[in-house]
Amino acid sequence: MRKLLLALGFIITITFFLPVDKTFAATVENDHDKLFEVEIANVTMRTAPDKEAEVVGQLKDGDQLRTFDEKNGWVKTFYNGQPVWVETEGLLLKEDNSTKEKQKDEEIPNDNEEENIEEDVQDVTNEEQEESEESETGLDSMLEEQLVLHAVEEKEDLPVGIYQPKSVQISEEAIIVLNNQLEGYKIMIDAGHGGEDSGAVNSGVLEKDLTLATAHKVKEHLEKEGAEVLLTRNDDTFISLQNRVNKSNTENADAFISLHYDYFRDSDANGINTYYYHPSTSGDLAEKIHAALVNELDMTDRGVRREGYYVIQHNQNPSVLLELGFMSNKDDLNEIQKEAYQEAVAKAITSGLMEYFDVSDE
């Protein structure tokens, strides 16, 4: 009789502990826990889910945020320790850890668990009476096991996207991943030629226009990653080679990138080159940026070379000169005029600089 009572008690106790604890379930029933990534530039954070509410700050393309509430197309997160609201338009859902969804999964009966319980009961009824005290000890152990199974699991670290962030801003209840890996770095972008110096010309296309347009796109990408970006020229102005170098040396730039598009008498020549002069200061920079360009662009890889071009030979800072395609080649010329190509160049240069500084800081 004692064996039977013990078995029944075991079944009742296990049945009690298998579901999620009711008090905990009530607490998290409406819990909202999602991870979003910003897909557009300048997403606004406000004090309330209203377009007229006070602006707290801006999120950039690539930032990630953990949210804890949702209302009428807005999600709530925490920024600098205070609650803020962000419109879901322009946000991409990356992860949904809402407890309500998890709870539904946990409440689905598991036939295998019921079969295991029946087998355990059979084992108990067949035990000898002198082992009953050991059975009670085993029961306590089983109950502790069930409690552990229903403990709240720790969340894994948030994904950080394509680029490893340099810093993660953490508040009490939310983590916003910032893309500012290049914060604190000063980058000088040199758009080759300008003014009366048109550079290469083919079919009415001027190299000086292509380099300036590309420089502005590189600047935009670098600034999104927190870099301070200086341009040797911001418009169609002639700047001497000496003045370009002087600007770099005076500003003590962390990197100097000179942009060019190539020209050769043989129209079959095509592809991209990366040049450096000082191996100790610029060799690794050249390798990192060239590797990123080759990876990002569908262009012939002409390699990394050491050459004595003025702007890199006389530069005291890490510096490279990039030839980003041949204006004398019909296919290259068609490609390098595309905005999408220049955007890809900007993305590659940014990625290469991230890789370079990440290694240099180790």
Residue with tokens 């083919």: 202
Determine the residue type at 73. G
pLDDT, position 334:
97
pLDDT, position 104:
45
The verdict on 139 and 77 lying in the same domain is no
* Tokens at 76, concatenated: 């709530």
pLDDT, position 288:
96
Contacts of 86 (CB under 8 A, 6+ apart): 36, 43, 44, 45, 46, 59, 65, 67, 74, 75, 76, 77
Contacts of 270 (CB under 8 A, 6+ apart): 299, 300, 325, 326, 329, 331, 332
pLDDT, position 6:
54
Tens of pLDDT along the chain (362 residues) come to 555 555 555 554 544 444 433 333 323 334 677 888 888 877 888 888 998 888 878 787 778 888 878 888 888 887 766 788 899 888 888 888 765 444 444 444 455 544 554 555 455 445 544 554 544 455 444 434 433 333 333 333 333 333 333 343 434 445 444 457 899 999 999 999 999 999 999 999 999 999 999 999 999 999 999 999 999 999 999 999 999 999 999 999 999 999 999 999 999 999 999 999 999 999 999 999 999 999 999 999 999 999 999 999 999 999 999 999 999 999 999 999 999 999 999 999 999 999 999 844 44
Burial class (CB in 10 A: 0-12, 13-18, 19+), 152: exposed
Query: The domain containing residue 142 runs over which residues?
Result: 2-27+101-149
The verdict on 214 and 296 lying in the same domain is yes
* Tokens at 334, concatenated: 């068609």
CATH number at residue 78: 2.30.30.40
The verdict on 136 and 255 lying in the same domain is no
pLDDT one-digit tens code per residue, 194-229 = 999 999 999 999 999 999 999 999 999 999 999 999
CATH number at residue 212: 3.40.630.40
The verdict on 209 and 251 lying in the same domain is yes
Count of the separate structural domains present in the chain:
3
The verdict on 113 and 214 lying in the same domain is no
pLDDT, position 5:
54
The verdict on 61 and 75 lying in the same domain is yes
The verdict on 253 and 291 lying in the same domain is yes
Alpha-carbon span 153 to 148, nearest angstrom: 10
pLDDT, position 171:
42
pLDDT, position 1:
57
The verdict on 206 and 343 lying in the same domain is yes
Alpha-carbon span 41 to 99, nearest angstrom: 31
pLDDT, position 139:
44
The verdict on 91 and 160 lying in the same domain is yes
The verdict on 226 and 341 lying in the same domain is yes
pLDDT, position 94:
81
Alpha-carbon span 84 to 75, nearest angstrom: 8
The verdict on 143 and 10 lying in the same domain is yes
pLDDT one-digit tens code per residue, 300-329 = 999 999 999 999 999 999 999 999 999 999
Rounded to 10 degrees, the C-alpha dihedral 86/88/91/97 comes to 90
Alpha-carbon span 184 to 167, nearest angstrom: 12
The verdict on 199 and 139 lying in the same domain is no
Residue with tokens 């500012």: 180
Helix extents (H) in the chain: 2-17, 22-28, 99-106, 111-125, 132-149, 207-224, 241-251, 279-296, 310-313, 330-336, 339-360
* Tokens at 234, concatenated: 């911001």
Alpha-carbon span 298 to 6, nearest angstrom: 73
No. of helices (H) and no. of strands (E), the chain: 11, 18
pLDDT, position 15:
44
